[in-house]
Structure 1
Amino acid sequence: MIVSPTPLGARRDVRVAAVITGGSTAGDMAAQAALTLRLHDDSAGWPFGAGWAVAALLLANSVPALLCVPLAGWAADRCDSRRTLLVSGLLCAVLCTGLAFARQPWWLLALVAGIAAVSSTATATLGALLPVMAGRAGVVRAGTVLRGAVLIGGVTGLAAGASASASVGVTTILLLSAVTFAVLGVGATAIQARRGGPRRSAPAAVAPVPEPPVASVGSRRRCWQLTAGYAVVLLLVSTTNVAQVFFVKDTLGASNVGYGLVSACWTVGTAAALPLVRRASPEPDRLVMVTLFGELVVGMAITGCAVPAGLAATAACYVLAGAGACAMQIAWGAVLALSTPEDRRGRQLAGYNAVVRMAASAALGVGGLLLAWVGPRGVYLVSGAGSVLVAVLAGLIWTGRAAVHRGKTTSHIQHNGTD
Structure 2
Amino acid sequence: MTTDTKLAARRGRLAVAAMFFANGFIIGSWAPQIPLVLSRLGITETTLGLLILVFGLGALVAMPWCGYLMARHGSRAILRVFAVLSSFALLLVALANNLWLIAPAMFFLGGVIGAMDVAMNTNAVVVEKRLGRAVMSSSHGFWSLGGFAGGASGGLIIQSVGHLPHAGMVTVVVFAIVAVAIGMLVEGERPAAQEHARFSWPSNPLVYLVGFMALFSMIPEGAVLDWAALYLQQEMGSDIATAGFAFAAFSATMAAMRFLGDGVRNRFGAVATLRVSALIAAAGMLVAGLAPHAWLAIAAFAFSGLGIANMVPIAFSAAGNQDGIESGTGMSVVTTMGYSGILVAPSAIGFLGERVGFAIIFVALSGLLVVVSLMAGLARSADFVAHQPAE
Q: Provide the TM-score with structure 2 as the length reference.
A: 0.71
Determine which of 388, 400, 412 is the counterpart of 2:370.
Answer: 388
* Counterpart residue type for residue 189 of structure 1: G
Alpha carbons 2:74, 2:187 under 8 Å: kept = no
Give structure 1 regions of 4+ aligned residues with deviation exceeding 6 angstroms.
254-264, 304-316, 337-340
Give the equivalent residue in structure 2 for 1:110: 104
Shift of 1:355: 1.9
Query: Aligned partners of 1:385 and 1:344: how far apart in 2?
Result: 29
Shift of 1:231: 0.9
Q: Deviations over 1:173-223 (max 9, x none)?
A: 333333455456542331124354658xxxxxxxxxxxxxxxxxx997544
Query: Aligned partners of 1:239 and 1:355: how far apart in 2?
Result: 12
Give the equivalent residue in structure 1 for 2:145: 152
Identity of aligned residues (%): 15
Query: Aligned partners of 2:18 and 2:253: how far apart in 1?
Result: 22
Give the equivalent residue in structure 2 for 1:33: 32
Give the equivalent residue in structure 1 for 2:257: 273
- Residues 313 and 50 of structure 1: is their aligned pair in 2 closer, same or farther, counting only changes over 3 Å? closer
Q: Deviations over 1:25-83 (max 9, x none)?
A: 3234324534652x344325xxxx35445334322221222234432332344431111
| 1:11-410 map, 5 Å | 11-31=10-30, 33-34=32-33, 36-37=35-36, 39-43=37-41, 49-93=43-87, 98-99=92-93, 101-135=95-129, 138-139=133-134, 142-180=135-173, 182-183=175-176, 186=179, 187-196=181-190, 222-235=206-219, 245=232, 249=236, 266-267=250-251, 269-280=253-264, 286-287=269-270, 290-303=273-286, 318-335=301-318, 347=332, 351=336, 354-358=339-343, 361-362=346-347, 364-365=349-350, 368=353, 371-372=356-357, 376=359, 379-392=361-374, 394-396=375-377
Query: Aligned partners of 2:47 and 2:175: how far apart in 1?
Result: 28
Shift of 1:226: 0.7
Query: Aligned partners of 2:92 and 2:294: how far apart in 1?
Result: 44
SS in 1 for 2:184: coil
Query: Aligned partners of 1:357 and 1:25: how far apart in 2?
Result: 14
Structure 2: runs of 5 or more not aligned? 194-201, 383-391
* Counterpart residue type for residue 387 of structure 1: L
Aligned length: 364
Query: Aligned partners of 1:108 and 1:383: how far apart in 2?
Result: 29
Structure 1: runs of 5 or more not aligned? 200-217, 403-419
Shift of 1:121: 1.5
Query: Aligned partners of 1:305 and 1:27: how far apart in 2?
Result: 25
- Residues 174 and 188 of structure 1: is their aligned pair in 2 closer, same or farther, counting only changes over 3 Å? same
* Counterpart residue type for residue 155 of structure 2: A
Q: Provide the TM-score with structure 1 as the length reference.
A: 0.67
Query: Aligned partners of 2:183 and 2:330: how far apart in 1?
Result: 21
Shift of 1:124: 0.8
- Residues 365 and 256 of structure 1: is their aligned pair in 2 closer, same or farther, counting only changes over 3 Å? closer
Shift of 1:336: 5.4
Alpha carbons 2:213, 2:315 under 8 Å: kept = no
Q: Deviations over 1:248-292 (max 9, x none)?
A: 959xxx999998888776455434423431315679x95465334
Supply the RMSD in Å over aligned alpha carbons: 4.5
Query: Aligned partners of 1:120 and 1:108: how far apart in 2?
Result: 18
SS in 1 for 2:155: helix
Query: Aligned partners of 2:210 and 2:316: how far apart in 1?
Result: 12
- Residues 78 and 301 of structure 1: is their aligned pair in 2 closer, same or farther, counting only changes over 3 Å? same
SS in 2 for 1:103: coil
- Residues 221 and 75 of structure 1: is their aligned pair in 2 closer, same or farther, counting only changes over 3 Å? farther
Query: Aligned partners of 1:297 and 1:19: how far apart in 2?
Result: 29
Alpha carbons 2:46, 2:351 under 8 Å: kept = no
* Counterpart residue type for residue 54 of structure 1: L
* Counterpart residue type for residue 395 of structure 1: A
Query: Aligned partners of 2:98 and 2:302: how far apart in 1?
Result: 41
Query: Aligned partners of 1:356 and 1:41: how far apart in 2?
Result: 26
Alpha carbons 1:76, 1:121 under 8 Å: kept = no
Shift of 1:85: 0.9
SS in 2 for 1:72: helix
Between stretches 380-389 and 309-318, larger displacement belongs to 309-318
Q: Which has the larger radius of gyration?
A: 1
